[in-house]
């Protein structure tokens, strides 16, 4: 009785050591077993053979793709033990099966593949029972299936099949297909049983530690997969993909990932999750996607069409299968990008948890492997999140990657680009500084920093430093040296605009011209160099020279919107208003939603065709605004998910913002440099790139689809009058064209925010005056059309979100107010100004327009108060200073009027109306000589004055 209990305990200990792969303890346990009366030598032979074989494989691991050949001296004893056990035949049936499995495994290690298959055929693996089997036996069976699959791949087909294969007969194809089916079945069975073994082994290991040690102790050590188990888990999907069967390969990936996780498979799961995410992103579209909870489709466009009819089908069943995650309310992806993002976020969590950060030499290889694995995950995250425009989330993910990023340029650069895309320009510049330190010879990095500094940040001194870095590289910068001079020129041009002293302005303008000329000489085929040189010459009022360079820019890039706009302004400066209007209309045929062009068109139409046509253009702008900011991304329709659709809303109050002047050089540079007026939103076909591309490279050409607005309602407060003829429909801007990276990012954010609801985009009615007050039928029709548009837009209450759309809307209303002011209609102008005031009540432009309306009504004191309030917000607004100076002149406060007008001249020395007003004041004071000089200066400047300031054109790299 005592012997049986002792033997039972010993056999349990042996079984535990075999399950936990503690092969160093087996020899001692075999000696104890041989001393027991209940044991026999054959079991000891089995255990010693297994121990020596596993120890050999641990010391001499097999490698994927290697073909072991020839007997190994250290394996001679293993064969002796196994042969002895088989010859005597005293073991139980289960142990005899184990001996045969070990013998087959030994044959494979020695390269005897046919002998190994012979042993497996005698054992008949499919008859081995999984239910109630010890844990170690599950491992042996899983390894046996994997080894059989390896042997089948190594051994050529039988001779008859070979002959059929040579003739290309159908039987040959069937034989090959059946053989592939058998190989895949072996690997899939091996993988399933391996997962079951790892789950049971971890459960037994945890239970054993708790039973042996009631006190808290060390955690269980991770089991090692080994060559055969790892092959069983990874080989099946490789064959599927090799055979062009992408559907079954993806299905196999999902089966492995749905199994309950354990510590041993964590690294493998991260690898498989990353590989599956890459396949979903690169090789699968939404139309071919199927849910992970559904069976794979039998016919799929993903699979190789030449292998249709030879698709692998799972025709086996196991008595025990690995446990899988199940339950209620589990998240299930609904599309390929969503599933890929889920997999990558899981992989990222694993990569961060298992990161090797130690810098000591012993951990160098592990640290490199950890970094490479994490970098691949973050590159795929860039693709997945970039497709959805989720740059905010991407920047957060890459910030978590900074633990890997010591002296690693790639991760720093990815973070900088993601911060740029997310609109975090200040932080992006700081990160780019680190990138410059890590890669000082790359000129594109400081150019990106310049782009941010002269664009959204307006950090001109920092931008100058970055531009000089590129220039100082000399020949190392190659073709980018011209870009460096271009960047320096833009910085000087913007500094000239910001300067308050005329001498400083002239100095910066001279420097800007020199930089642009150098850029143009270094890169004579770059249309931007010629364009910005023309723009700077235009700002300096060298109109003939500017015309020559803008024509050169158009020869290099005939459809450049800014070059066309500059050409129109130059023609207007030469008083060729009809030609300028023709150029604007031609440009609008290519860029129908460019608001800068439309603003200029309003001014030109007022000059050439009358204010009624200008008002129709204002109405057209309102319609475009409504449709332009009601964009929808077709790829997002019906795909709601809290995992992906994160709103990127800017929570700043609109009331705290000021509206930049759209027609004044003093304030336009800060706002227009980052908005071209024709930005796209939500491309329908985003490119699949492994990393964020540089904005200096060739950008993608996204396509945008506009959702037409609902038909306007007839407001109830308007009197009954004949309806006007319907206005021409606004052209839908569905044109495909290239755009800058930052503009693309700005409006990709807009495509995901709450501004896109058609029911929330609207404005209250703006007119309370009947159209019978109009001076003509055309004007009455324009008024009613504008009323319908205004009432269809519902309410202009301030809203949260990106500022640019609301700034654009306010500018449209102010343009309409200016047109009505020119028509001497203060009531309508006041209504338009009120709409802009609802959006930006503290804007100096709104206050200036209120002063204009007060002047029109004859309220000089009220106008003076509005102008003073506008200057208290923006002291350098030249137009307000000019109007205030004239009012002070009317009030006979000549000294103060002269002071205000001289300050205005210092701010903008090319404003001819300011010079004219100053001359009037000086004449009233009796200073005829100075007044004459001012009048002559005004005449000279007016001869080259455009319809709108040249600085309405954005200056950005």
pLDDT tens for 410-419 read 999 999 999 9
CA nearest 767: which of 838, 834, 847? 834
Looking at the predicted structure, is the pLDDT value of residue 909 above 60? yes
- Residue-wise pLDDT for 306-327, tens only, equals 665 555 566 677 888 888 888 7
Q: What's the mean per-residue pLDDT of the chain?
A: 76
Q: Which of the four pLDDT bands, split at 50, 70 and 90, describes residue 578?
A: very high
Give pLDDT, residue 465: 94
Give pLDDT, residue 691: 37
Given a contact cutoff of 8 angstroms between Cβ atoms, the answer to whether 516 and 529 are in contact is: yes
Mean pLDDT of the region 442-456: 93
- Residue-wise pLDDT for 168-181, tens only, equals 444 555 566 778 88
Of 88-97, 270-279, 504-513, 821-830, the poorest mean pLDDT is in 88-97
Start-to-end Cα distance in the chain = 92
Given a contact cutoff of 8 angstroms between Cβ atoms, the answer to whether 53 and 78 are in contact is: yes
Q: What percent of the chain has pLDDT over 90?
A: 36
Give pLDDT, residue 126: 85
Which residues, in sequence order, are bridge partners of residue 736?
A: none
Q: Say how far apart CA 664 and CA 950 lie, in whole Å.
A: 9
Mean pLDDT of the region 927-934: 92
Burial category of 647 from C-beta neighbours within 10 Å (exposed 0-12, middle 13-18, buried 19 and up):
exposed
Give pLDDT, residue 452: 94
Contacts of 267 (CB under 8 A, 6+ apart): 350, 354
Mean pLDDT of the region 542-562: 93
Give pLDDT, residue 205: 75
Give pLDDT, residue 2: 40
DSSP code of residue 766: -
Q: What percent of the chain has pLDDT over 70?
A: 74
Return the number of other C-beta atoms located less than 10 Å from residue 579's C-beta.
Answer: 15
Which residues, in sequence order, are bridge partners of residue 259?
A: 324
Mean pLDDT of the region 440-463: 92
Quickly tell me which residue has 């309003």 as its tokens: 602
3-class DSSP state of 259: strand
CA nearest 270: which of 367, 385, 388, 353? 353
Q: Say how far apart CA 169 and CA 149 lie, in whole Å.
A: 25
CA nearest 497: which of 639, 667, 643? 667
More confident residue, 68 or 225: 225
Residue 483 tokens, joined: 């870009």
Mean pLDDT of the region 402-409: 83
Mean pLDDT of the region 41-64: 83
Q: Which of the four pLDDT bands, split at 50, 70 and 90, describes residue 476?
A: confident
Q: Which of the four pLDDT bands, split at 50, 70 and 90, describes residue 794?
A: very low
Looking at the predicted structure, is the pLDDT value of residue 654 above 90? no
Q: Which of the four pLDDT bands, split at 50, 70 and 90, describes residue 733?
A: very low
Mean pLDDT of the region 915-940: 92
Looking at the predicted structure, is the pLDDT value of residue 503 above 70? yes
Give pLDDT, residue 651: 27
Looking at the predicted structure, is the pLDDT value of residue 792 above 50? no
Distances 471 to 209, 443, 445, 510 between C-alpha atoms, Å: 67, 9, 13, 18
Contacts of 912 (CB under 8 A, 6+ apart): 937, 938, 939, 940, 941, 942, 945
Looking at the predicted structure, is the pLDDT value of residue 663 above 60? no
Burial category of 865 from C-beta neighbours within 10 Å (exposed 0-12, middle 13-18, buried 19 and up):
middle
Residue 26 tokens, joined: 């087996």
Looking at the predicted structure, is the pLDDT value of residue 901 above 50? yes
Which residues, in sequence order, are bridge partners of residue 324?
A: 259
Mean pLDDT of the region 63-68: 66
Choose from 175-179, 368-372, 454-458 the range with maximum mean pLDDT. Answer: 454-458
More confident residue, 106 or 42: 106
CA nearest 845: which of 658, 597, 630, 585? 658
Give the total residue count for the chain: 957
- Residue-wise pLDDT for 591-615, tens only, equals 998 999 999 999 999 999 999 999 9
Q: Which of the four pLDDT bands, split at 50, 70 and 90, describes residue 244?
A: confident
Of 368-372, 657-661, 700-704, the poorest mean pLDDT is in 700-704
Given a contact cutoff of 8 angstroms between Cβ atoms, the answer to whether 575 and 607 are in contact is: no
Burial category of 471 from C-beta neighbours within 10 Å (exposed 0-12, middle 13-18, buried 19 and up):
buried
- Residue-wise pLDDT for 332-351, tens only, equals 888 888 888 899 998 888 88
More confident residue, 762 or 75: 75
* 0.75 exceeded by pTM: no
DSSP code of residue 261: P
Q: Say how far apart CA 401 and CA 376 lie, in whole Å.
A: 12
- Residue-wise pLDDT for 817-845, tens only, equals 999 999 999 999 999 999 999 989 889 99
Q: Say how far apart CA 629 and CA 651 lie, in whole Å.
A: 18
Give pLDDT, residue 845: 93
Q: Say how far apart CA 543 and CA 737 lie, in whole Å.
A: 30
**In this structure, what is the dihedral angle of CA atoms 376, 377, 382, 383, given to the nearest 10 degrees?**
80
Give pLDDT, residue 688: 31
Mean pLDDT of the region 865-889: 93
Q: In the chain, what are the helix, strand and coil shares in percent, each to the nearest 5?
A: 65, 0, 35
- Residue-wise pLDDT for 504-542, tens only, equals 888 999 999 999 999 999 999 999 999 999 999 999 999
Q: Say how far apart CA 633 and CA 828 lie, in whole Å.
A: 37
Give pLDDT, residue 602: 94
- Residue-wise pLDDT for 128-175, tens only, equals 888 888 888 899 999 999 999 999 988 876 534 333 444 444 455 556
Given a contact cutoff of 8 angstroms between Cβ atoms, the answer to whether 621 and 819 are in contact is: no
Burial category of 7 from C-beta neighbours within 10 Å (exposed 0-12, middle 13-18, buried 19 and up):
middle
Looking at the predicted structure, is the pLDDT value of residue 867 above 90? yes
Given a contact cutoff of 8 angstroms between Cβ atoms, the answer to whether 534 and 549 are in contact is: yes
């Amino acid at each position: 009785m005592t012997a049986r209990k002792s033997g039972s305990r010993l056999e349990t200990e042996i079984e535990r050591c075999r399950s936990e792969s503690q092969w160093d303890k087996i020899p001692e346990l075999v000696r104890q077993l041989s001393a027991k009366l209940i044991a026999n030598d054959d079991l000891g032979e089995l255990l010693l053979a297994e121990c020596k074989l596993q120890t050999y494989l641990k010391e001499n691991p097999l490698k994927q793709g290697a073909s072991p050949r020839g007997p190994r001296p250290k394996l001679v004893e293993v064969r002796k033990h196994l042969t002895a056990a088989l010859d005597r035949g005293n073991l139980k049936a289960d142990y005899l099966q184990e001996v045969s499995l070990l013998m087959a495994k030994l044959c494979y290690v020695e390269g005897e593949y046919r002998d190994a298959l012979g042993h497996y055929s005698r054992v008949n693996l499919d008859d081995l029972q999984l239910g109630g089997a010890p844990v170690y036996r599950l491992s042996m069976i899983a390894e046996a299936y994997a080894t059989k699959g390896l042997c089948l791949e190594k051994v050529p087909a039988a001779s008859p099949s070979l002959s059929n294969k040579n003739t290309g007969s159908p039987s040959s194809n069937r034989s090959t297909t059946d053989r592939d089916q058998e190989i895949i079945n072996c690997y899939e069975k091996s993988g399933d049983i391996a997962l079951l073994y790892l789950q049971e082994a971890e459960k037994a290991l945890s239970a054993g530690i708790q039973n042996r040690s009631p006190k808290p102790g060390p955690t269980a050590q991770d089991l090692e997969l080994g060559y055969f188990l790892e092959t069983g888990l990874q080989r099946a999907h490789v064959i599927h993909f090799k055979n062009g069967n992408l559907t079954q390969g993806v299905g196999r990936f999902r089966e492995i990932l749905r199994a309950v996780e354990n510590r041993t498979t964590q690294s493998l799961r991260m690898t498989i999750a990353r590989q599956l995410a890459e396949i979903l992103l690169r090789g699968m579209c939404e139309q071919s996607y199927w849910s992970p909870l559904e069976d794979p489709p039998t016919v799929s466009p993903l699979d190789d069409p030449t292998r249709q009819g030879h698709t692998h089908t799972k025709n086996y069943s196991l008595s025990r299968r690995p446990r899988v995650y199940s339950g209620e309310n589990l998240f299930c992806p609904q599309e390929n990008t969503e599933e890929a993002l889920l997999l990558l976020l899981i992989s990222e969590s694993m990569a961060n948890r298992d990161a090797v950060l130690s810098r000591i030499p012993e951990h160098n290889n592990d640290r490199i492997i950890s970094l490479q694995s994490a970098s691949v995950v973050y590159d795929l995250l860039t693709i997945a999140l970039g497709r959805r425009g989720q740059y905010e989330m991407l920047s957060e993910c890459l910030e978590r990657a900074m633990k890997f990023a010591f002296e690693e340029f790639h991760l720093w650069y990815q973070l900088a680009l993601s911060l740029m895309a997310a609109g975090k320009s200040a932080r992006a510049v700081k990160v780019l500084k680190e990138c410059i330190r890590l890669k000082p010879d790359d000129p594109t990095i400081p150019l990106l920093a310049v782009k941010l500094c002269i664009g959204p940040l307006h950090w001109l001194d920092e931008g100058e430093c970055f531009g000089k870095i590129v220039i100082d590289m000399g020949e190392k910068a190659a073709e980018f040296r011209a870009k460096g001079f271009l960047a320096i020129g833009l910085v000087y041009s913007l500094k000239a605009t910001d300067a308050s002293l005329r001498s400083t302005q002239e100095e910066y303008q001279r420097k800007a011209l020199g930089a642009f000329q150098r850029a143009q000489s270094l890169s004579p085929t770059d249309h931007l160099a010629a364009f910005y040189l023309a723009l700077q010459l235009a700002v300096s009022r060298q109109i003939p020279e500017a015309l020559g360079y803008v024509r050169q820019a158009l020869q290099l890039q005939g459809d450049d919107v800014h070059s066309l706009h500059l050409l129109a302004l130059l023609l207007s400066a030469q008083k060729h208003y009809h030609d300028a209007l023709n150029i604007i209309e031609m440009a609008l045929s290519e860029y129908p939603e460019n608001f800068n062009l439309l603003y200029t068109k309003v001014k030109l139409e007022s000059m050439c065709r009358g204010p009624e046509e200008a008002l129709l253009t204002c109405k057209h702008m309102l319609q475009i605004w409504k449709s332009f900011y009601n964009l929808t991304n077709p790829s997002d329709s019906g795909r709601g998910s809290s995992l992906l659709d994160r709103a990127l809303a800017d929570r700043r109050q609109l009331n705290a913002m000021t509206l930049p002047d759209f027609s004044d050089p003093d304030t336009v540079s800060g706002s227009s440099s980052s908005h071209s007026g024709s930005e796209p939103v939500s491309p329908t076909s985003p490119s699949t790139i492994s990393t964020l591309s540089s904005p200096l490279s060739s950008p993608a050409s996204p396509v945008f689809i506009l959702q037409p607005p609902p038909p306007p309602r007839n407001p109830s407060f308007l009197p009954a009058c004949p309806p006007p003829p319907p206005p021409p429909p606004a052209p839908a801007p569905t044109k495909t064209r290239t755009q800058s990276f930052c503009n693309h990012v700005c409006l990709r954010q807009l495509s995901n925010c709450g501004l896109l609801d058609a029911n929330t985009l609207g404005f209250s009615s703006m007119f309370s005056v009947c159209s019978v007050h109009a001076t003509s039928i055309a004007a009455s029709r324009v008024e009613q059309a504008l009323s319908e548009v205004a009432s269809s837009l519902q309410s202009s209450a301030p809203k949260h979100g990106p500022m640019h759309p609301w700034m654009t809307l306010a500018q449209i209303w102010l343009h309409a107010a200016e047109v009505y002011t020119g028509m001497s209609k203060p009531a309508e102008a006041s209504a338009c100004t009120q709409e802009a005031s609802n959006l930006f009540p503290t804007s100096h432009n709104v206050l200036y327009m209120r002063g204009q309306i007060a002047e029109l009504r004859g309220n000089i004191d009220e106008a003076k108060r509005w102008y003073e309030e506008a200057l208290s917000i923006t002291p350098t607004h030249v137009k307000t200073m000019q109007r205030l100076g004239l009012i002070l002149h009317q009030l006979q406060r000549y000294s103060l009027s002269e002071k205000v007008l001289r300050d205005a001249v210092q701010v903008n020395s090319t404003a001819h109306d300011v010079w004219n007003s100053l001359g009037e004041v000086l004449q009233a004071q009796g200073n005829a000589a100075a007044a004459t000089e001012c009048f002559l200066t005004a005449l000279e400047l007016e001869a080259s004055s455009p319809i709108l300031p040249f600085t309405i054109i954005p200056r950005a790299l």
